[in-house]
């Protein structure tokens, strides 16, 4: 397929996943803030860290003040993460990005998928979205999540399962690896450094984080109800049957890239990305039985995030419009 | 407002929804649907069915139609808007009807016209016999902005130059159809023809069923066939070339690519190597044989046309000259749809085909001719003066509505550059019943018609339908979408089979 079109497919997938993920994390934080008995900043600040926009928030919203009330003000953080057009990962920007890429490949998407994307875009720009946001916050996030999940479902059920879909899904999966990795890293660090470790609070926090990753039920099934920081970390890193674990996403991304660029077609472009993703896949799976003590979780996640970043760069050069 | 719910039977008056319509008729204007208070015979059944609807039903239907168009993204981009605002092309849900016998005559006339225009382009880029014979003054042609001397002697792959055309037609005060202008470069609007039909079928299933209307949804299939027919190779790889999502007609470009199952490419996706065109893909370069290009030809190839263009594909014209790629439409067609060349089309039909023109056109004064120019300058207040190289309703003097200062300005321009101006008497464009949403009423509004003609190796084919543009503002003659025009679905009726 045309490299430029592949690029739009890839970024379409990333933006859809990012929009869904942002809405899910914000909804989980709203719920957590209600009964976590945590200082508010410890609920909201991690959201900003996970999104990678902590610095932007500090300079633009708090005026550089690390003790400003804004860090713990859920309304300010949510406005920044939902509506702020200058915040590159706000929901508004993700929806615009998803729709812009979709419109650029309108002829590639199925009619059903396109309408789902376009309706979300029009809704976000209508008066209805801010009204629901003001009156019924949870319903707002629910709406965004439903629309993005519907989109991902529709591309799978109404489009040809060939290259464009592989590129979209590659984008979804690589975005998801980063989201899961950053989410786990930030929270693992915060929770294991709580001043007074309290089992009930910690359990509530882990479950909230799992909910933010749509993973609490899946985790409880695997862990038979036992919640521990190591158990959660191992589940999110290595559970090969959970579609948001790092092992699952990296392996599926590798599968998708194999469809796009079969490993035995040595003359086709994409070989460097494919090899790098294969190595990462093997490496992640080899971590399955490593002890997760000390900084082990952080080290593993840092490696994953850095590698995914590099792989996206190589993909851009080899297969997408950057080449 | 209460509308009477009269269940009028028989052919006399449609009544109901149309109760107050005939009174609003525009004086001196042909009404396409009604003759006085009586619906015209071929449309009586449709008029009766529509008349039974209430203004409330129409309001709801109109709102549904607009929502559907917006949600499907059937929009055009508004230039100069940084937020990338998109608007729907205003749509009037009351269809414009065309009788079977009328369309049959139009079809033959359009085919004849396209055959003559194709022959003219072959001649102008070949031997120029029509100039030697003195049928058209040579300076008229060789001085046209659309004439490309570098294309002379070049035979396009498949021998076709006007693969896709849109010929704008109007009806005058007595209902006579006339050609207003030819669009032989990159005519747009056909996507609205197909989309408008989808909507009116959803809104008026029973009326539509009773009307017996020709389908229009096979246009993309016919277009794909026409494109394949001119390919230099057997298994053609055809693509649609768009300037990109910021172009106002981007929806249509993607619509056509999607409905033909072809790839939509932008100039940077294409590369020329060894006089062959390739597309950059994730599996390396792939040959391209036919390009349906929706970019203006000035931006096709910076090596040939505009060196400052960053939009083009360097070397494309070399590949074209080598016969390795077909371009639809062929570059150079602008010389045939020039407004100053238009007055000579009837002569072309006689010269190339030895036939009498089947379609009337509008009498045109060519300011280059002394006698015509003298007449125009003496009658500026009665004429419509048009610059030959402008479109979309710009660069015009509407004489009857003009001010003394405007007329003075055009007088100076005409004297300075006579080749650039033509003039015509204003035509009382025909009117159709149109839903006026703000007032919840039906009023007559002026319309034109752009039918689409596809030409393959086998010759021209006319889509039985077309884009009806309607001047939505009361009293307006300007149907262009950039100036407050809207569109209607166009129902070309099938021949009645005695039932």
Residue of A nearest to B72 (CA): A115
pLDDT of residue A229: 87
Planar angle of CA B44, B56, B65, nearest 5 degrees? 80
- Whether this model's ipTM surpasses 0.85 comes out as no
* B118, B161 contact by CB (below 8 A): yes
Residue of A nearest to B266 (CA): A4
pLDDT band, very low/low/confident/very high, at B289 (cuts 50, 70, 90): very high
What residues pair up with B455 in beta bridges, in sequence order? B460
Q: Is residue A204 part of a domain?
A: yes
From B195's Cα to the closest Cα of chain A, the distance in A is 13
Q: Is residue A323 part of a domain?
A: no
Q: Per mean pLDDT, which range of A190-204, B36-50, B148-162, B179-193 is the poorest?
A: A190-204
What residues pair up with A216 in beta bridges, in sequence order? none
Residues 251-270 of A with CB under 8 A from B: 260-261, 268-270
pLDDT of residue A292: 87
CA separation for the pair B393, B406 (Å, rounded): 16
| Cα separation values, B48 from B12, B15, B16, B52, Å | 10, 8, 8, 7
Q: What is the pLDDT of residues A61-100, one digit of tens each?
A: 999 999 999 999 999 999 999 999 999 999 999 999 999 9
User: Phi, psi (5° rounding) for residue B284?
Assistant: 95, -175
- The gap between the terminal CA atoms of chain A, to the nearest Å, is 14
CA dihedral (A175, A180, A181, A182) positive or negative: positive
CA separation for the pair B2, A279 (Å, rounded): 76
For A183, the enclosing helix (H) or strand (E) is helix A163-192
Q: Which residues contact B388 (CB under 8 A, 6 or more apart)?
A: B144, B145, B338, B339, B340, B419, B420, B421, B422
Report chain A residues whose CB lies below 8 A from the CB of B282: 1-3, 6, 163, 260-261, 269-270, 319
CA separation for the pair A70, A41 (Å, rounded): 8
Q: Is residue A276 part of a domain?
A: yes
What residues pair up with B449 in beta bridges, in sequence order? B169, B468
Q: What is the pLDDT of residues B200-233, one digit of tens each?
A: 999 999 999 999 999 999 999 999 999 999 999 9
- Locate B164 and state its tokens: 């896709």
Pairwise CB contact (< 8 Å): B280 & A4: yes
Q: Is residue A236 part of a domain?
A: yes
* Block residue for tokens 């993204």: B73
Pairwise CB contact (< 8 Å): B251 & A106: yes
* Block residue for tokens 């439409």: B329
pLDDT of residue B485: 86
* B478, B393 contact by CB (below 8 A): yes
CA separation for the pair A94, B53 (Å, rounded): 44
DSSP class of A53: -
| Cα A90 to the center of its chain, rounded Å | 13
CA separation for the pair A206, A194 (Å, rounded): 13
pLDDT of residue B11: 43
- Locate B103 and state its tokens: 């369309």
pLDDT of residue B392: 63
Report chain B residues whose CB lies below 8 A from the CB of A106: 73, 251, 254-255, 258, 264
Count Cβ atoms within 10 A of the Cβ of residue A123 and give its class: 0-12 exposed, 13-18 middle, 19 or more buried. Answer: middle
A 10 A CB-CB count for A111 gives 13
- Judge whether residue B12 has pLDDT over 60: no
| Cα separation values, B259 from A110, B454, B463, B495, Å | 11, 16, 16, 28
What residues pair up with B365 in beta bridges, in sequence order? B423
A 10 A CB-CB count for B252 gives 22
- Locate A214 and state its tokens: 């749509």
CA separation for the pair B102, B495 (Å, rounded): 10
Cis ω on the peptide bond leading into residue B329 (within 30° of 0)? yes
Strands B238-241, B290-293: pairing kind: parallel
Q: Considering chain A, what is the average pLDDT of its residues?
A: 92
Q: Is residue A54 part of a domain?
A: yes
Q: Considering chain B, what is the average pLDDT of its residues?
A: 90
Q: Domain tally for chain A?
A: 1
Q: What is the pLDDT of residues B346-395, one digit of tens each?
A: 999 999 999 999 999 999 999 999 999 999 999 999 999 999 877 666 78
Report chain B residues whose CB lies below 8 A from the CB of A119: 71
User: Phi, psi (5° rounding) for residue B53?
Assistant: -80, 160
Question: Using CB atoms, which residue from B70, B71, B280 is nearest to A2?
Answer: B280
% of chain A beyond a pLDDT of 90? 77
Diameter over CA atoms, chain B: 73
Structural domain that includes position A87: 3-318
* Block residue for tokens 């960053």: B310
pLDDT of residue B8: 41
Best of B282, B283, B291, B292 to disrupt the A interface (most A CBs within 10 Å) is: B282
A 10 A CB-CB count for A225 gives 7
Q: Is residue A209 part of a domain?
A: yes
pLDDT of residue A235: 96
CA separation for the pair A306, A300 (Å, rounded): 10
CA separation for the pair B289, B165 (Å, rounded): 21
CA separation for the pair B357, A292 (Å, rounded): 88
Pairwise CB contact (< 8 Å): A118 & B280: no
What residues pair up with B383 in beta bridges, in sequence order? B425
pLDDT of residue B311: 73
% of chain A beyond a pLDDT of 70? 98
CA separation for the pair B252, A268 (Å, rounded): 34
pLDDT of residue B80: 56
Pairwise CB contact (< 8 Å): B282 & A114: no
Q: Is residue A96 part of a domain?
A: yes
CA separation for the pair B2, B6 (Å, rounded): 12
- Locate B346 and state its tokens: 């009837």
Q: Is residue A27 part of a domain?
A: yes
Residues 4-33 of A with CB under 8 A from B: 4-6
3-state SS of chain B is CCCCCCCCCCCCCCCHHHCCCHHHCCCCCCECCEECCEECHHHHHHHHHHHCCCHHHHHHHHHHHHHHHHHCCCEEECCCCCCCCEEECCEEEEEEEECHHHHHHHHHHHHHHHHHHHHHHHHHCCCCHHHHCCCCCHHHHHCCCCCCHHHCCCCCHHHCCCCEEEEEEEECCCCCEEEEEEECCCCCCHHHHHHHHHHHHHHCHHHHHHHCECCCCCHHHHHHHHHHHCCCCCCCCEEEECCCCCCCCHHHHHHHHHHHCCEEECHHHEEEECCEEEEEEECEEEECCEEEECCCHHHCCCCCCCCCCCCCCCCHHHHHHCCCCEEECCCCHHHCCCCCCHHHHHHHHHHHHCCCCCCEECCEEECCCHHHHHHHHHCCCCEEEEECCCCCCCCEEEHHHCCHHHHHHHHHHHHHCHHHEEEEECCCCCEEEEEECCCCEEEEEEEEEECEEEEECCEEEECCCCEEEEECCCCCCCCCHHHCEEEEEEEEECCCCCC
Q: Which of B130, B131, B64, B122 is nearest to B93 (CA)?
A: B64
pLDDT of residue B13: 62
- For chain B, which domains are there? 233-324 (3.40.50.11290), 363-425 (3.30.1490.270)
Q: What is the pLDDT of residues B97-128, one digit of tens each?
A: 999 999 999 999 999 999 999 999 999 999 99
Report chain A residues whose CB lies below 8 A from the CB of B281: 1-3
């Amino acid at each position: 397929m045309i490299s430029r079109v592949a690029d739009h497919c890839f970024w379409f997938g990333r933006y859809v996943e990012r929009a869904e993920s942002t809405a899910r994390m914000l909804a989980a934080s709203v719920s957590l803030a209600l009964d976590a008995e945590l200082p508010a900043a410890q609920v909201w600040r991690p959201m900003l860290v996970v999104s990678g926009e902590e610095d932007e928030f500090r300079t633009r919203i708090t005026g550089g003040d690390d003790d400003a009330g804004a860090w713990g003000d859920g309304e300010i953080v949510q406005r920044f993460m939902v509506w702020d057009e200058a915040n590159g990962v706000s929901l508004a920007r993700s929806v615009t990005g998803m729709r812009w890429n979709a419109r650029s490949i309108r002829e590639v998407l199925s009619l059903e998928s396109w309408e789902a994307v376009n309706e979300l875009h029009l809704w976000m720009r209508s008066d209805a979205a801010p009204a629901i946001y003001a009156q019924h916050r949870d319903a707002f996030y629910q709406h965004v999540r439903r629309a993005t999940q519907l989109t991902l479902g529709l591309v799978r059920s109404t489009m040809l399962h060939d290259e464009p879909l592989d590129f979209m899904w590659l984008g979804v999966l690589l975005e998801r690896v980063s989201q899961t990795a950053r989410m786990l890293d930030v929270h693992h660090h915060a929770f294991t450094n709580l001043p007074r470790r309290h089992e009930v609070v910690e359990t509530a926090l882990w479950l909230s984080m799992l909910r933010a990753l749509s993973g609490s039920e899946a985790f409880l099934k695997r862990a038979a109800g036992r919640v521990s920081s190591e158990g959660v970390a191992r589940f999110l890193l290595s559970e090969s049957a959970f579609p948001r674990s790092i092992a699952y996403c990296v392996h599926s991304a590798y599968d998708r890239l194999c469809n796009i660029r079969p490993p035995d077609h040595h003359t086709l472009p994409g070989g460097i990305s494919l090899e790098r993703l294969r190595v990462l896949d093997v490496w992640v799976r080899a971590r399955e039985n490593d002890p997760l003590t000390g900084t082990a979780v952080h080290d593993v996640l840092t490696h994953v995030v850095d590698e995914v970043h590099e792989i996206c760069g190589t993909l851009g050069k080899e297969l997408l419009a950057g080449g | 407002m209460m509308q009477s719910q009269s269940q009028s039977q028989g052919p006399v008056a449609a009544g109901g929804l149309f109760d107050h319509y005939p009174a609003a008729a525009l004086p001196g204007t042909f009404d396409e649907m009604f003759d006085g208070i009586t619906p015209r015979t071929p449309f009586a059944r449709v008029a009766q069915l529509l008349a039974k609807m209430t203004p409330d039903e129409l309001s709801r239907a109109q709102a549904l139609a607009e929502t559907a168009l917006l949600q499907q993204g059937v929009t055009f981009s508004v230039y100069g808007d940084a937020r990338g605002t998109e608007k729907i092309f205003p749509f009037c849900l009351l269809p414009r009807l065309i009788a079977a016998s009328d369309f049959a005559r139009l079809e033959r006339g359009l085919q004849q016209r396209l055959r003559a225009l194709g022959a003219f382009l072959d001649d102008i880029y070949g031997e120029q016999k029509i100039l030697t014979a003195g049928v058209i003054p040579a300076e008229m042609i060789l001085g046209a902005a659309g004439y490309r001397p570098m294309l002379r002697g070049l035979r396009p792959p498949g021998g076709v130059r006007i693969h896709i055309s849109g010929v704008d037609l109007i009806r005058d005060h007595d209902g006579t159809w006339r050609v207003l202008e030819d669009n032989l470069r990159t005519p747009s609007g056909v996507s609205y023809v197909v989309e408008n039909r989808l909507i009116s079928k959803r809104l008026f299933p029973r009326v539509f069923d009773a009307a017996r209307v020709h389908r229009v949804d096979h246009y993309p299939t016919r277009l794909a066939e026409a494109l394949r027919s001119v390919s230099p190779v057997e298994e053609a790889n055809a693509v649609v070339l768009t300037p990109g999502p910021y172009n106002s007609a981007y929806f249509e470009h993607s619509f056509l690519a999607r409905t033909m199952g072809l790839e939509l490419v932008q100039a940077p996706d294409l590369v020329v190597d060894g006089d062959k065109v390739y597309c950059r893909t994730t599996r390396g370069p792939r040959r391209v044989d036919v390009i349906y290009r929706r970019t203006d030809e000035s931006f096709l190839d910076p090596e040939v046309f505009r060196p400052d263009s960053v939009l083009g594909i360097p070397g494309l014209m070399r590949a074209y000259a080598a016969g390795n790629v077909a371009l639809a439409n062929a570059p150079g067609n602008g010389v045939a749809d020039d407004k100053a060349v238009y007055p000579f089309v009837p002569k072309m039909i006689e010269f190339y085909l030895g036939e009498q023109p089947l379609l009337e056109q509008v009498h045109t004064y060519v300011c280059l001719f002394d006698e015509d120019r003298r007449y125009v300058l003496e009658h500026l207040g009665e004429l419509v003066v048009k610059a030959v190289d402008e479109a979309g309703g710009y660069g015009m003097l509407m004489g009857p509505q003009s001010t003394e200062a405007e007329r003075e300005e055009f007088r100076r321009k005409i004297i300075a550059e006579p080749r650039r101006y033509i003039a015509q008497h204003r035509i009382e464009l025909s009117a159709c019943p149109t839903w006026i949403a703000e007032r919840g009423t039906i009023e007559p509004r002026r319309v034109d018609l752009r039918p689409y003609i596809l030409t393959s190796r086998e010759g021209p084919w006319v889509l039985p339908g077309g884009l009806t543009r309607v001047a939505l503002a009361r009293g307006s003659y300007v149907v262009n979408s950039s100036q407050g025009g809207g569109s209607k679905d166009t129902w070309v009726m099938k021949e009645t089979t005695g039932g």
